[in-house]
């Protein structure tokens, strides 16, 4: 499992890659992920019908710049891949500054930052730059060059599976289509890699499927290609904005009462956090929760998308994310999935009156334990509410007891022949 420092180093390593919804930057990113966890790559050809969408042409870019009359690059793709609007068509022209302005994007309110802009599904081109730089450009003619290609190719995504004791699946999804943006979503990729390593070492109950895909079209493509698998997906989390210094935010599934919603609320209650209801705006929880699928998939971020000034700007750089924040996101997910894996429902096999625990050695086993009172109470609560419909998490919250105490009580009672899962 990666440490916070190692996750941050992974963010720094992937930061320069020019990612988009297709192309070699995506493949380069997945190759780095594949150095840490086994990854199955999928290439879906341009023109493939995926639900109501079609896989677009593949975009790649080699160079781009705007140069003044002296040949000096005043906007340079080599300095930052944010300088070019994603999916820009090829351009090789000379034009006046007045004509060029219609293709330039800035952030006047933060004049030293460069915005992130895309034009995925309509042919266009453009450059992004700091307002300060634009203000300093003199009138005159400029050489405009975008050395890019839009051609039939494929959409690339990666999958990693951690086998569980059962075939029911938990999906962890993060998008890989953003260029040099550290929090959105390189931090999510790094946390997902470390989480996958941790789960593999723990031999989990559920099977965990990690999806590294371009936003929107990637999730739609995966759903279109995995219709026979969707019924196995019982829980899921879309992971994004995982490294900023804000507190954690969980967005419920469209159902609002899915097991993952219950578990995340329980795990987050003892730390600063916010829980939001589902809305059809955001990341790929929109696709997993669309009415035809309606999966129990929520979204975990720190500060939510568009909720911090640095969002989709050059200020979302490796210095904006912290190792400590990524570790906190990782620890929260590990705790949540531990609860999810252990949150079973039991039936009391001795429901007529309270069974005698002493003769089964259950009270004696508590002697000397610092949590003996909690453990004893937990046994009584588990016996009282194990009706086949009430989960251990339901019992823990009703009793006001730690989940670990209730889970331990259930294990002891099951071993004594008093409970059946």
Instruction: Answer for the pair 265, 340: CB distance below 8 angstroms, yes or no.
Output: no
Cβ-proximal residues to 113 (8 Å cutoff; 6+ apart), any chain: 107, 130, 310, 313, 314, 315
Cα–Cα distance measured from residue 327 to residue 306, given in angstroms and rounded to the nearest whole number:
22
127-128 and 154-162: which strand pairing?
A: unpaired
Instruction: Answer for the pair 259, 235: CB distance below 8 angstroms, yes or no.
Output: yes
| 3-state class (DSSP) for residue 348 | strand
The CB-side HSE value for 19 (13 A sphere, CA atoms) comes to 28
List the structure tokens of 29.
């990113």
Cβ atoms < 10 Å from Cβ of 417 = 11
CA distances from 101 to 79, 137, 141, 200, 398 (A): 20, 11, 12, 52, 62
Cβ-proximal residues to 331 (8 Å cutoff; 6+ apart), any chain: none
Residue 52 labelled as part of a binding site: no
The CB-side HSE value for 106 (13 A sphere, CA atoms) comes to 16
> Which residue shows structure tokens 């990782």?
330
Residue 178 labelled as part of a binding site: yes
Cα–Cα distance measured from residue 305 to residue 296, given in angstroms and rounded to the nearest whole number:
21
Residue 407 labelled as part of a binding site: no
Q: What are phi and psi of 347, to 5 degrees?
A: -120, 130
CA torsion sign for 176, 302, 246, 190 is: negative
Cα–Cα distance measured from residue 175 to residue 186, given in angstroms and rounded to the nearest whole number:
9
Residues of the binding site: 178, 184, 312
Residues of the binding site for Zn(2+): 178, 184, 312
């Amino acid at each position: 499992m990666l440490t916070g420092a190692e996750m941050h180093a992974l963010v720094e390593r992937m930061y320069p890659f020019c990612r988009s919804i297709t192309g070699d930057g995506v493949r380069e990113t997945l190759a780095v992920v594949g150095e840490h966890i086994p990854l199955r790559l999928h290439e879906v050809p341009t023109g493939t019908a995926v639900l109501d969408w079609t896989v677009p042409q593949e975009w790649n870019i080699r160079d781009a710049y705007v140069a003044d009359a002296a040949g000096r690059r005043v906007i340079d793709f080599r300095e930052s891949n944010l300088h070019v609007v994603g999916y820009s068509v090829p351009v090789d022209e000379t034009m006046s500054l007045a004509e060029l302005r219609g293709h330039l994007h800035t952030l006047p309110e933060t004049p030293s930052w460069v915005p992130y802009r895309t034009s995925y599904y309509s042919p266009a081109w453009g450059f992004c730059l700091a307002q300060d730089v634009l203000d300093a450009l003199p009138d005159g003619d400029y050489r405009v060059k975008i050395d890019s290609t839009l051609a039939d190719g494929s959409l690339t995504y990666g999958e990693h599976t951690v086998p569980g004791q059962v075939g029911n699946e938990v999906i962890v999804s993060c998008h890989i289509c953003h260029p040099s943006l550290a929090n959105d979503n390189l931090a999510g990729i790094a946390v997902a890699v470390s989480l996958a390593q941790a789960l593999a070492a723990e031999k989990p109950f559920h099977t965990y499927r990690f999806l590294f895909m371009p936003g929107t079209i990637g999730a739609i493509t995966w759903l279109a290609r995995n219709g026979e698998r969707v019924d196995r997906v019982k829980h899921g989390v879309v992971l994004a904005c995982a490294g900023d210094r804000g507190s954690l935010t969980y967005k419920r599934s469209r159902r609002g009462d899915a097991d993952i919603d219950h578990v995340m609320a329980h795990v987050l209650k003892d730390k600063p956090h916010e829980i939001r209801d589902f809305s059809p705006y955001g990341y790929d929880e929109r696709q997993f929760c669309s009415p035809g699928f309606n999966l129990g998939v929520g979204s975990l971020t720190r500060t939510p998308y568009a909720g911090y000034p640095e969002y989709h700007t050059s200020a979302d750089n490796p210095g904006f994310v912290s190792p400590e924040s990524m570790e906190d996101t990782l620890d929260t997910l590990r705790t949540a999935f531990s609860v999810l894996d252990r949150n079973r429902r039991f039936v009391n096999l001795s429901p007529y009156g309270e069974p005698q625990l002493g003769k089964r050695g259950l009270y004696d086993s508590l002697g000397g334990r610092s949590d003996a009172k909690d453990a004893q109470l937990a046994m009584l609560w588990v016996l009282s509410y194990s009706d086949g419909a009430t989960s251990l998490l339901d019992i823990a919250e009703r009793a006001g007891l730690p989940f670990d105490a209730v889970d331990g009580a259930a294990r002891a009672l099951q071993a004594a022949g008093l409970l059946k899962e």
